[in-house]
Every structure is written in structure tokens, then in C-alpha cells.
Amino acid sequence: MTTAAIIVAAGRGSRAGGDLPKQWQMLAGRPVIAHTLEAFSAMVRVLVIHPDDRNRAAGLGVEVVIGGATRTASVRAALEALAGRGVTRVLIHDGARPLVPAAVIARVLTALDGHKGAAPALPVTDALWTGAEGEVSGTRNREGLFRAQTPQGFDYAAILAAHRAHSGEAADDVAVARAAGLAVAIVEGDEANLKLTWPGDFARAEAILKGRDMDVRLGNGFDVHAFCPGDHVWLCGVKVPHDRGLLGHSDADVGMHALTDAIYGALAEGDIGQHFPPSDPQWKGAPSHIFLTHAMGRIAARGFRLSNADVTLICERPKIGPHAVAMRTALAQIMGVEVGRISVKATTSERLGFTGREEGIAALATATLVQA
């Protein structure tokens, strides 16, 4: 089962003020959209943007789709972009909701186990008035009324068919789903999951970020693989030409193994061998991105996000410097984070020890996790 997240960020958000659309304004030192994307880092992500924002989105490391003239058209463009890629469930989220808690996402996903659609909401608790010319003109019953939030989750095939059949604009994707006859379950939302709409909302969001009881986890990993006959080595997701290979049960990517263990360590969930036993033949020759992707999924499941990761490769040869940027990029894509959060560097052991004798390669890695 593959879940994808569509982050809708093609609007202009003029009510929020500022020189930039609200999703590109700064919040706690980072663009709003960076916070939003991070909440869905364990999934396939599609960011829907305005064509004027191509350059701004270039450094985010996610798939980009150009939006349409309306929100409904933008969502459909992203849904169509996911066609034929094995996606079974999709979460559709407003780019201007940067503080969505991991627990809200988890509740939506759980509800999708038994429903074609699910969305978070909060019951209306205030009295409701109507007004005219600055005065109260009447009241409305609040019973059964909810304040809708996102992400709104759906069976992918069902919501794609609903959008293809829908003409015109809709308030949200729940409206599109219901017009197609889909039942949508309501799950509990969260007051922190506010949508940035007015200038004052940024101050509220900053206060929420500062007020969170932040749980920070640090993990480290170490791995070693010996050289064997071959013509290349896999290091941090990059195939590097060399006069020897690396010996291992999987593809022997020593850098990715150390990083995966660092993540498991930060979560106090053991190491690769516990999750993927080398005695199991299904992992023979397996690409190491399988292990790292699983570790990233555990981060999200535990309600954390990756703050940064640092990998050090220890060897005399091959030379790592010419490949370091490609390695950082490969790891960032696998992990669903910005390249700026991933470091890959190398050192030698000054011709000392097994690495100095070029008998193998060692790797050290550190990963920092913070509460989402």
C-alpha cells in the first residue's frame, strides 16, 4: 500500500499580507511550505505550485506540479500526475497549514482502513450569528457543524474518478468526494493545525512552535564492509566506479547502513539486523534504500521528523569528494528531506588500520530527530 501526499500551494494568499505569497513567507526561520512538506516526509510528495514559483520550489527536493486556475483544478493536476504509479491512498493538504501534528495524519490514515474518505475537523463550539449593517440579524444552530481541516485522505482511485467527473470549483476535496457519492469519515482535528490566512496568524504559528515541548533524539551508526572482487561500490545511494566491490549480504552500501542504524538508534529500535535479518534470503543483494526508507517510515510513525543527518566515509580509495554532492542528493531523495539537511563527507585513516591498508570501508553516521 503506497500513500502519497499532495500539498496544494498554488494560491497567492494576498490576505496574509507581505511581499510573497504566504506559503513562501518565513516562519521560525524557514519558508512556511518547508514546514508543511516536512510533516509528510515519509510519503511520496507532490507539491502543486503557481508557475511563478518554480525557482522558489527548486531547492525543496520534491516533485512539483504546476497548478490550475482553481484549487480544484490544481488538485486534479496532481492526482493525474500520480496515475499509474501504484498509489493506493492519497492525502490532500493545504500548503498554508504548516503545523499539522503527526497524530492528525495518523488518524486520517487509520480511518482510511475502513472508509474511502476521511478528514479531520473540529466541532463548532461558539455561538453562530448572522449579521447585516454591523448588527446581529439572527442566530444559527451550531449542532452538527464542524470546522474542516486538512489533510483530507482518500482511496486514490476513488478520488481521481470523483475529480474527473466533477465540473467547476468546490470548497474542498470532501465536497468533490461527496458529489461522487463517497462517504467521508470525520476524525479529530487539532487547534494547532491552523491555516495561515491573516497577518496575525503568523504570530500564532510562531507561538505554537515555541510552546511545543520538543523531544530531540540523537542516534549514531557505524558500519564496515570488506572489499571483494568487483568493478564498483555503492556508497550513499551512488554507484561509484572502483577496481573492487564491497562484500555484504545486501548491496553493502556502508554509508546508508550506518545512517539507517543511526535513525534506528535515535528511536531506540535496534539496528538493521533486527528489522532485516541477514539470515532471511529475501534480503540477499537488496538495495539499501529499502532499509533507509523503512527507517524514515518509523520516524513518521513515532511522531518525529528528521532534523539533520551527517555521514562520514572512512577510506583511502575511492575518492569521495567528486561524488559527495550526488550522494547528498540521493540520500535526500530517498529520505524525502531537503538536501541542506544531509551531509556526506570523507576522511582517511592516514594509512593506519584496515581502511589504511585498503581492506575495506568504514562509515560513521549521526541523525537528529525532533518531535513533529
For residue 114, what pLDDT band results from cuts at 50, 70 and 90? Answer: very high
Q: Does residue 348 sit in the same domain as residue 251?
A: yes
Q: Which residues contact 201 (CB under 8 A, 6 or more apart)?
A: 16, 194, 195
Distance of CA 33 to CAs 60, 198, 234, Å?
9, 16, 33
For residue 281, what pLDDT band results from cuts at 50, 70 and 90? Answer: confident
Q: Does residue 196 sit in the same domain as residue 324?
A: no
Q: Does residue 111 sit in the same domain as residue 176?
A: yes
pLDDT at residue 1 is higher than 80: no
Tell me the percentage of the chain whose pLDDT exceeds 90. Answer: 86
For residue 280, what pLDDT band results from cuts at 50, 70 and 90? Answer: confident
For residue 61, what pLDDT band results from cuts at 50, 70 and 90? Answer: confident
pLDDT at residue 14 is higher than 80: no
Query: Of the candidates 177, 211, 245, which is a domain's last residue?
Result: 211
In this structure, of 276-285, 313-322, 336-345, the range with the lowest mean pLDDT score is: 276-285
Query: Of the candidates 211, 241, 267, which is a domain's last residue?
Result: 211
pLDDT at residue 275 is higher than 70: yes
Q: Specify the pTM.
A: 0.63
Find the CATH number of the domain harbouring 94.
3.90.550.10
User: In 3-state terms, what secondary structure has residue 105?
Assistant: helix
Q: For residue 318, is the peptide bond before it cis, meaning its omega torsion is within 30 degrees of 0?
A: yes
List of E strands, 166-251: 184-188, 216-229, 232-235, 238-241, 244-246
Nearest to 2 by CA among 44, 56, 50: 44
pLDDT at residue 20 is higher than 80: yes
- Write down the mean pLDDT value for the chain: 94
Residues spanned by the domain of 138: 3-211
Q: Does residue 44 sit in the same domain as residue 165?
A: yes
Query: Of the candidates 211, 243, 267, which is a domain's last residue?
Result: 211
Average of pLDDT values for 242-269?
Answer: 95
pLDDT at residue 209 is higher than 90: no
pLDDT at residue 363 is higher than 70: yes
Instruction: Give pLDDT, residue 59.
Output: 82
- What DSSP character marks residue 53? G
For residue 326, what pLDDT band results from cuts at 50, 70 and 90? Answer: very high
Q: Which bin fits 28, alpha (ψ -120 to 50), beta or left (φ > 0)?
A: left
pLDDT at residue 93 is higher than 80: yes
Instruction: Give pLDDT, residue 213.
Output: 60
The residue assigned the cell 517510515 is 297
pLDDT at residue 239 is higher than 80: yes
pLDDT at residue 9 is higher than 90: yes
Q: Does residue 273 sit in the same domain as residue 171?
A: no
Whether residue 365 contacts residue 343, with contact meaning beta carbons closer than 8 Å, is answered with: no
Nearest to 361 by CA among 246, 242, 203, 262: 246
Q: Does residue 183 sit in the same domain as residue 252?
A: no
Q: What is the CA radius of gyration of the chain?
A: 23
Q: Does residue 244 sit in the same domain as residue 361?
A: yes
Whether residue 177 contacts residue 184, with contact meaning beta carbons closer than 8 Å, is answered with: yes
Instruction: Give pLDDT, residue 278.
Output: 86
Domain count, the chain: 2
In this structure, of 177-181, 197-201, 236-240, the range with the lowest mean pLDDT score is: 197-201
Q: Does residue 25 sit in the same domain as residue 172?
A: yes
- Tell me: the pLDDT tens digits for 121-153? 999 999 999 999 999 999 999 999 999 999 999
CA pair distance 32, 203, nearest whole angstrom: 13
Strand 304-314 to strand 360-371: parallel, antiparallel, or no bridges (unpaired)? antiparallel
Q: Does residue 71 sit in the same domain as residue 165?
A: yes
Q: Does residue 259 sit in the same domain as residue 281?
A: yes
Average of pLDDT values for 287-307?
Answer: 93
pLDDT at residue 212 is higher than 90: no
Q: Does residue 207 sit in the same domain as residue 220?
A: no
